[in-house]
Chains A and B, each alone.
Chain A
Amino acid sequence: MNTPAGQKGTDTVKRGLAEMLKGGVIMDVVNVEQAKLAEAAGAVAVMALERVPADIRAVGGVARMADPSIVGSIVAAVEIPVMAKSRIGHFVEAQILASLGVDYIDESEVLSPVDEFHIDKWSYDVPFVCGAKDLGEALRRIGEGAAMIRTKGEPGTGNVVEAVRHMRTMTSQIRSLTLLGADEIMSAAKDLAAPYALVKEVAETGKLPVVNFAAGGIATPADAALMMQLGCDGIFVGSGIFKSGDPDARARAIVEATTFYKDAEKIAKVSRNLGEAMVGLNIDTLSPDELMQHRGL
């Protein structure tokens, strides 16, 4: 006989859920109807929000955690995991989201940061995902307890260029680490401003110790497959689905392109007749204070 009086909230349990999401698509949703559409389209999880990033950009002002009634209704409506965003450093928003039963918290630069310090994520049973532009940032977040990483990209733009840049940067930095001798690791940790033990681990294994998804600007099936071929473990789509002409068809197509990411014929097939993609923004038309990727380094 066995009792489930096991240990909750361990690294294996928290990082393990992200392992199960690999090869899948996590979709931003703002109500129960969108959450059900995402689940039926084959999403592996949904991100419950009050507004998608493109609308957060349009509205301006301070962006906060979603109304608990929105998060709670989505938690009750679907069987797949539900994630929700807290502001960077806002540990009370994180406590509230944990109490609502969310399966993952995204401590996200899409919302307005409240502190120069990030949340102490080790102290929660619920796992956290955080954004990163480069390896140092990813390892600082993992050092604070993040159980999953995603590229920051530039959210709400429908422009995948920044996500590509961030993924390429991380991959290249990881590759460089694997070439270092043992006596060079401390200096590399200093340059990356990252914990020595994590830098050493990455140098030895040649990969991040947690799952790494793509996020920030993915709008088409081809964008999703591009990020997968660049080595991401899975895909977040924020505004790209519900700001497009035919969300249902686009959601299904992005899921299928993520599974068959090396098969150009299949990606071509699912990319047909999807209607209008979301209108994109060019990054160089945004002023520096409109860029979300520079929040919370």
Chain B
Amino acid sequence: MPLVGALALQGDFREHLTMISDLGAEGVEVRTPEELADVDCLIVPGGESTAIGRLATRYGMMDPLRQRIRAGMPVLGTCAGMIFLGSSTTGRAQPQLGVLDVVVERNAFGRQQESFEAYLDVKGFDRPMPAVFIRAPWIEKVGEDVDVMATVSDPTSGREFPVFVRSGNVIAISFHPELTRDARVHELLLSLVGSVNDEER
């Protein structure tokens, strides 16, 4: 079984690791470049993206993360993790890895009182996925090689915004399957280990 890392600088990384162990894989907390070198794939959890970005910069994680992901290591970013993987935001600049060609809108649905849960139709999934959106981002603009797997429509403009995308070894979602215990996105991540080309392994 693959060794799954969860970036443990801040956020709900323990819930992700619980799901990974429920799936029968081994999970480990990753805070340093040395710990990153050992894992076969990585989860960037929900949390506060500015806090995660600042700690990753301060502790020399940005370049090792970019290197591993660009070399093909499968990675899943949820909520703050989606922002962290992206290339830019519609707001103020903040540390981002730029390994996923998307422009992210932070707090796209509004403040906490606008946070909600709903069922989401996902391309390729046979039944809707329960999705919890907490001060969640959406994707304002996707690059060419990015597959949109699910969208939500903005109640004010009626426009559709991606909340679940995949580009090769990189998966990013706006919501929190680790809180609803729906394992399908985590299974997708595990299925990529060994199936996408990871040159560093």
Contacts and interface: CB of A to CB of B under 8 A. Distances in A.
Interface of A: 1-10, 12-13, 16-17, 19-24, 39-45, 75, 79-81, 98, 101-104, 125-127, 255-256, 259-260
Contacts of A98: 113
Nearest to B164: A2
Contacts of A7: 116-118
B50 A79 contact: yes
A25 to B, nearest CB: 8
Interface stretch (B6-14, B20-28, B139-147, B190-198): B6-14
13 contacts: A3-B153, A4-B116, A6-B117, A9-B113, A16-B132, A20-B48, A23-B8, A23-B9, A40-B54, A42-B51, A44-B47, A125-B113, A259-B55
Contact of A4 (B54, B112, B155): B155
Contact of B12 (A3, A6, A19): A19
A13 B9 contact: no
Contacts of A260: 31
Interface in B160-175: 160
A108 B78 CA distance: 32
Contacts of A43: 51
B144 to A, nearest CB: 23
Contact of A12 (B11, B117, B155): B117
A101 B113 contact: yes
B153 A4 contact: yes
A22 B180 contact: no
A2 B10 contact: no
B151 interface: yes
Interface residues of B, number: 50
Given A1-B121, A2-B151, A13 B134 contact: yes
B55 A103 contact: no
Interface string B106-130: 1101011111111111000000000
A126 B113 CA distance: 5
Given A23-B47, A42-B51, A79-B106, A12 B31 contact: no
A42 B153 contact: no
A109 B155 CA distance: 39
Contacts of B179: 12, 16, 19
B135 interface: yes
B3 interface: no
Contacts of B51: 24, 42-44, 80, 255
Given A3-B155, A22-B11, A79-B50, 5 more contacts: A17-B135, A22-B10, A43-B51, A79-B91, A255-B54
Contacts of A75: 111
A42 B55 contact: yes
B171 to A, nearest CB: 18
Nearest to A1: B153
